[in-house]
Amino acid sequence: MVLPAATTRPRRPLAIPALVLFGIAWLVLMLLVAFSADLISPFPYTALDLRNRLAAPIGFGGPWLHPLGTDELGRDVLSRLIVSIRLSLLIAFGATLIGAFVGTSLGFLAAHFRGWVEHLVLALVDFSASLPFLILALSVLAFFGNSLTLFIVLLGFHAWERYARIARGLAISAGAQGYAAAVRQLGASPWRIYGRHVLPNIASTLIVSMTLAFPEIILLESGLSFLGLGVQPPATSLGNMVGYGREYLTRAPWILLAPAFIIVLTTFSVSLIGDWLRDRLDPTLR
C-alpha cells in the first residue's frame, strides 16, 4: 500500500464540496420520486391520450395538461419518466446489492478455505475481468430470453469480481496478522469472524466500491434497454424510453431528451459522491 506523500495531498476542507452536495440532493430527489411514483405521476404511465399525440412540453407550444409533452401514442412523458426512474433505480440498487453480496461472499470463501477454492474463485475473477461485461450480458440474454428478475440478477454480476478481490485481500491480511487471527484463536466460529469482525472493518471500502459500481449499472441497464434487450414493454425504464424516443428524434426530441437528462445527471451525481467518498474513506482504492 502506497499512500501519496503528505506534500502532494492537499488538505481537503471539512465541508462537503458544492458539487457533491448537489449530487446528494439530486440522488435524494430521485429516491423521493421513485418512492412516491404512484402518488405524484399525473397519469397512469400506459394511459393513452390520442388527441394529444406527440404534444410538445410546456414552453414549446404544448398543452398544460402534459408538462413534458407526450409520445407517439399520446402517453404522458412525465408520468412515464417517473415510473421509469423507479424501475431503473430498483434495478440498479438490486443489482448493486447482488454484486456486492456475491462478490464479498466468494472473496470470504476464497480467504477462508484457500487451496482449490481460492484458485477457482481467482480463475473466475480473471475470467470476468477479461471480458467486456456487455458482451457477456448480451450472450446470456440471447440464451435465456428476458425477464425482469433474470435481468436484475444478470446485472448483479457486473463488478462482482471487484468486491471479491477486495474482500479476499482484506480478509487474508486480517486473518494473517490482525484482529481476525486474534478472534479466531479466541475460538470464534467463521460466521462470527467474518460477520462480526471482518465485514464491519471492510464495510467502508465495500460501500465506496458500491457507489462506484452503481452508475456503471445504471449505464448498463439503460444501454441494454436502449438496444431493446433490457426492460421489455409494457414496463418502462430510462434507457428504454430513450430507445423508443429515438424514432421520433426529429419530430419529438423531448421524448428522448428528458430520460437522457435524468440518466446523465443521476450517474454524474453518484459518481461525484463515490469519488468524494473514496477520497475521504479509502485512499487505497484507485
Partner 1 sequence: MTAPLLEAKGLVRRYVMRRGVFGRTVPVEAVAGVSLDLRVGETLGLVGESGCGKSTAGRLVLGLETPDEGSVRFDGAPMPEPGTDAWRKLRARMQLVFQDPLGALDRRITIGEQIAEPLVIHATPGDHAARVAELLTSVGLREEQASRYPHELSGGQRQRAVLARALATEPALIVADEPISALDVSIQAQVMNLLADIQARRGTALLFISHDLRVVRQVSHRVAVMYLGKIVEEGDPDGVLQEPAHPYAQALVSAIPAPGRQGKRIVLQGDPPSPADRPTGCAFHPRCAVAVAMCREVSPALKPRASDGRLVACHLVHGDAVSLKVAA
Partner 2 sequence: MLRFLGFRLLRAIVTIVLVVTFAFVVLRLSGDPALLIMSVDAPPEAIAAFRAAWGLDDPLWVQYIRYFNAIFHGDLGRSMRDGRDAIVLVTERIPATLALTLPALAIKIGIGVPAGVYAALHRNSLADRMVMVMAVAGFTIPSFVLGLILVLVFAVQLGWLPSGGQESWRHAILPVITLGVGGAAVLARFTRSAMLEVLGQPFIRSASAKGVPWAAVVRNHALPNAAIPTVTIIGFMVGSLIAGAVVVESVFSWPGVGRLLVVAVANRDLAVVQCILLLVAMTMVIANLIVDLLYGALDPRLRATRTAGAH
Q: Which residues bind partner 2 (CB under 8 A)?
A: 2-5, 7-10, 122-127, 130-132, 134-136, 138-145, 165, 168-169, 215, 219, 222-223, 226-229, 239, 242-243, 246, 249-250, 253, 256, 260, 263-264, 267-268, 271-272, 275, 286
CA neighbours closer than 13 Å in the CB half-sphere of residue 256: 13
Structure-block grid coordinates of residue 219:
449505464
Cβ closer to partner 2: 29 or 182? 29
Q: What is the DSSP letter of 67?
A: T
- Choice between 70 and 222, CB closer to partner 2: 222
Quote the CA–CA distance of 83 and 45 in Å, as a whole number: 7
- Dihedral sign from CA coordinates of 258, 262, 155, 120: positive
> Is residue 260 within 8 Å of 243, Cβ to Cβ?
no
Cell of 137: 450480458
Q: How far is the CB of 266 from partner 1 (least distance, A)?
A: 32
Instruction: Return the one option of partner 2, partner 1, none that residue 97 interacts with (CB less than 5 to 8 A, by type).
Output: none
Compare residues 2 and 186 and give the one whose CB is closer to partner 1: 186
Q: How far is the CB of 135 from partner 1 (least distance, A)?
A: 32
Question: Which residue lies nearer to partner 1 by CB, 17 or 283?
Answer: 283
- How near is the Cβ of 285 to partner 1 at its closest, in Å? 19
Backbone angles phi, psi at 66, to 5 degrees: -120, 95
